[in-house]
């Protein structure tokens, strides 16, 4: 069984300051991990993914995440927030063993960016 | 190449009516996944289909819900005799082959509201 916990349901940052979104996971197998972003009234967009290669993963729009197996974490960071980063972010795990691409989503973190 | 297309974007039904949600996968994609997002929650897997076959329906409620992906035409998620608890955003995703999480594309979702 696999599960994902996003530790903050809401994060508020000022424009130009760092963003940190926390995610912990559990998985019976070597997991694949993802971060998706959902802007209002839009579909989900893949930000980045970890699939057992480099533990520091760089994604689109300046985001990156670090896989830490010892801490079972996959936190998402960005050095400098932009107004366009206001959205909801989902940490997602897939153990790759289930049929197809059955993904397990965290509860989401809503990011507010203040000018 | 158009993305994953879902319609309608918004669907309003009264209790007891039927809801039919449609998903047209990306061109060349033969795998379709349905996810449900309840208010303030992450997405939860419902069903995985290939053309004319249900591969994994472990996330589908046992009653009133059904899904199909015919040889021709879109995938349909059907909810009979809707209740207020069915109100949610329903997302469809597609991929071109199995099993690669890296090529999973999401639609913009259908927001179902049950009055």
Residues A106, B99: C-beta atoms closer than 8 Å:
no
**CA distances for A70 relative to A25, A28, A56, B28, B108, angstroms:** 11, 14, 14, 40, 36
pLDDT of residue A57: 93
- Exposure of B104 by Cβ count < 10 A (0-12 exposed, 13-18 middle, 19+ buried)? buried
Which residue is associated with the tokens 């508020």?
A12
B89-111 pLDDT, tens per residue? 999 999 876 655 566 788 989 99
pLDDT of residue B80: 97
The alpha carbon dihedral of B63, B64, B69, B70 has a sign of positive
Residue of higher predicted confidence among A103 and A95: A103
Mean pLDDT of A86-104: 78
Phi, psi of A61 (to 5 degrees): 60, 25
Mean pLDDT of B38-65: 90
Q: For chain B, give the percent of residues with pLDDT over 70.
A: 92
DSSP collapsed to 3 states, B67-85: EECCCCCCEEEEECCCCHH
- The nearest alpha carbon in chain B to A104 belongs to B44
pLDDT of residue B104: 79
Residue A1 distance to chain B (closest CA, Å)? 13
């Amino acid at each position: 069984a696999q599960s994902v916990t996003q530790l903050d349901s809401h994060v508020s940052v000022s424009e130009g300051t760092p963003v940190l979104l926390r995610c912990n996971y559990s998985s019976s197998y070597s997991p694949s991990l993802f971060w998706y972003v959902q802007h209002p009234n839009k579909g989900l967009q893949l930000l980045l993914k970890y699939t057992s290669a480099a533990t520091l993963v760089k994604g689109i729009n300046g985001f990156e995440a670090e896989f830490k197996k010892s801490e079972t974490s996959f936190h998402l960071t960005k050095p400098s927030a932009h107004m366009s980063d206001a959205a909801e972010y989902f940490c997602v795990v897939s153990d790759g063993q289930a049929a197809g691409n059955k993904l397990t989503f965290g509860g989401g973190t809503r990011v507010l960016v203040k000018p | 190449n158009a993305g994953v297309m879902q319609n309608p974007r918004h669907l309003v039904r009264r209790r007891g009516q039927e809801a039919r949600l449609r998903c047209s996968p990306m061109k060349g994609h033969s795998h379709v996944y349905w996810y449900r997002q309840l208010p303030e929650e992450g997405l939860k897997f419902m069903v995985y289909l290939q053309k004319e076959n249900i591969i994994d329906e472990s996330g589908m409620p046992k009653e009133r819900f059904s899904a199909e992906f015919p040889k021709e035409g879109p995938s349909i998620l059907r909810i009979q005799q809707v209740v207020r608890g069915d109100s949610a955003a329903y997302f469809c995703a597609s991929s071109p082959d199995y099993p690669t999480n890296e090529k999973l594309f999401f639609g913009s979702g259908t927001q179902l509201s049950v009055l």
